[in-house]
């Protein structure tokens, strides 16, 4: 079996993945470009992309395995019917840690305190009597826009602080309610944002959810509200978010998912708008789910599916089931 790996995130776990492969397997690890000659003999391709040109080159291919959740860069229309596509997750715990940390930091005002103290300003009511004493984080109400693995794992951490919560989802249902006060479909999105202190955005991006949070929804979140986006950037309207942060319509935001990403020409700013100039935004480079634990879990899922393929067993996490 020939296994072509084109995901640099798996390189630190190279030996772990190779140890799980069937005896006699040959691995090709790609660090740059797509060598089409190697694809001609490939049984398995591990990577986040697969184009129509790659399909034409891969004469023996049986499995494309994305070492992550997103499969939007796979050209499904070009795939033969016998090629299966699988994905994997394992990022929910790491993202939940980010959500909890960012929620406490922004709700309690620690990001603002940090930036003020760098200028010698002690922005606390102990030294400035005009400033109000903030509530404990456990008094916060959390609103989840989307409540899959990420929402559930985040809620388990946030609930431990004593927070209350509610959620909206596309279906109006969740697999495990886990103590939420209520769950509804997105027709109650504005109500959710009006009620909550911290909005956690982790909905899937599609034609129905793009721009679902705009100026009206941010106004509903309000001047004490915090937004944390770990889903996809365009779930929140770009200009509306910038204006809401710049104008104090909302208190702060943690943004881990963006509107522009680096391509073949190297690094780029994550937005056309100057979010970096705003003092009330925590900017991270889509890094909330990037931990060793995430990728060990993904490597093990990929390895297990490769073994199943070799044995003729059904694969797990198949996304193009007939």
Q: The CATH number of the domain where 251 resides is what?
A: 3.40.50.720
Going by pLDDT thresholds of 50, 70 and 90, the confidence category of residue 224 is very high
Indicate whether 152 and 261 sit together in one domain: yes
Going by pLDDT thresholds of 50, 70 and 90, the confidence category of residue 190 is very high
Does the residue 59 lie in any domain? yes
Does the residue 139 lie in any domain? yes
Does the residue 319 lie in any domain? no
Indicate whether 118 and 192 sit together in one domain: yes
Indicate whether 115 and 220 sit together in one domain: yes
Domain that holds residue 77: 2-90+292-311
Indicate whether 26 and 162 sit together in one domain: no
User: Is the model's pLDDT at 301 over the cut of 70?
Assistant: yes
Does the residue 109 lie in any domain? yes
Mean pLDDT of 72-82: 94
pLDDT digits (tens, 9 = 90+) for 144-175: 999 999 999 999 999 999 999 999 999 999 98
Indicate whether 183 and 63 sit together in one domain: no
Q: Taking all residues of the chain, what is their mean pLDDT, rounded to a whole number?
A: 96
Indicate whether 62 and 152 sit together in one domain: no
Going by pLDDT thresholds of 50, 70 and 90, the confidence category of residue 259 is very high
Question: 283 has which bridge partners?
Answer: 255
Does the residue 166 lie in any domain? yes
Q: Which residues contact 122 (CB under 8 A, 6 or more apart)?
A: 116, 128
User: Is the model's pLDDT at 322 over the cut of 80?
Assistant: no
Indicate whether 138 and 188 sit together in one domain: yes
- Please report the pLDDT score of residue 36 as a whole number: 85
Indicate whether 188 and 272 sit together in one domain: yes
Dist CA 130 CA 72 (whole Å): 50
Indicate whether 176 and 196 sit together in one domain: yes
Does the residue 61 lie in any domain? yes
Indicate whether 61 and 103 sit together in one domain: no
- Please report the pLDDT score of residue 318 as a whole number: 97
What is the count of structural domains for the chain? 2
Compute how many other C-beta atoms are within 10 angstroms of the C-beta atom of residue 76. Answer: 13
Mean pLDDT of 236-256: 98
Does the residue 317 lie in any domain? no
Does the residue 252 lie in any domain? yes
Indicate whether 121 and 164 sit together in one domain: yes
State how far the alpha carbon of 90 is from the alpha carbons of 52, 96, 257, 260, 289, in Å: 29, 11, 18, 24, 8
Indicate whether 174 and 158 sit together in one domain: yes
User: Is the model's pLDDT at 37 over the cut of 90?
Assistant: no
């Amino acid at each position: 079996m020939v296994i072509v790996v084109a995901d640099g995130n798996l390189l630190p776990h190279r030996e772990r993945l190779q140890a799980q492969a069937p005896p006699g397997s040959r691995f090709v690890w790609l660090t740059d470009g797509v060598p089409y000659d190697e694809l001609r003999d490939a049984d398995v391709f591990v990577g986040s992309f697969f184009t129509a040109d790659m399909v034409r080159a891969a004469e023996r291919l049986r499995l494309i395995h994305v070492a992550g959740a997103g499969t939007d860069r796979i050209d499904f229309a070009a795939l033969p019917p016998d090629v299966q596509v699988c994905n994997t997750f394992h990022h929910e715990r790491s993202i939940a840690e980010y959500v909890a940390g960012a929620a406490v930091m922004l709700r309690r005002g620690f990001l603002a305190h940090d930036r003020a103290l760098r200028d010698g300003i002690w922005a606390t009511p102990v030294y400035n009597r005009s400033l109000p004493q903030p509530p404990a984080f456990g008094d916060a109400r959390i609103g989840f826009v989307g409540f899959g693995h990420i929402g559930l794992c985040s809620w388990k951490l946030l609930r431990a602080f004593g927070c209350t919560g509610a959620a909206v989802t596309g279906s109006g249902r969740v697999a495990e309610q886990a103590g939420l006060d209520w769950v509804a479909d997105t027709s109650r999105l504005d109500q959710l944002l009006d009620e909550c202190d911290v909005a956690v955005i982790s909905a899937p991006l599609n034609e129905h959810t793009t721009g679902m949070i705009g100026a009206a929804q941010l106004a509903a979140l309000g001047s004490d509200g915090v937004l944390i986006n770990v889903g996809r950037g365009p779930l929140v309207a770009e200009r509306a978010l910038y204006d809401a942060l710049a104008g104090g319509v909302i208190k702060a935001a943690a943004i881990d998912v963006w509107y522009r990403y680096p391509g073949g020409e190297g690094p780029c700013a994550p937005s056309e708008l100057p979010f970096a100039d705003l003092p009330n935004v925590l900017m991270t480079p889509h890094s909330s789910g990037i931990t060793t634990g995430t990728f060990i879990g993904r490597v093990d899922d990929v390895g297990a599916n490769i073994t199943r393929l070799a044995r003729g067993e059904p694969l797990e996490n198949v996304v193009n089931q007939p």
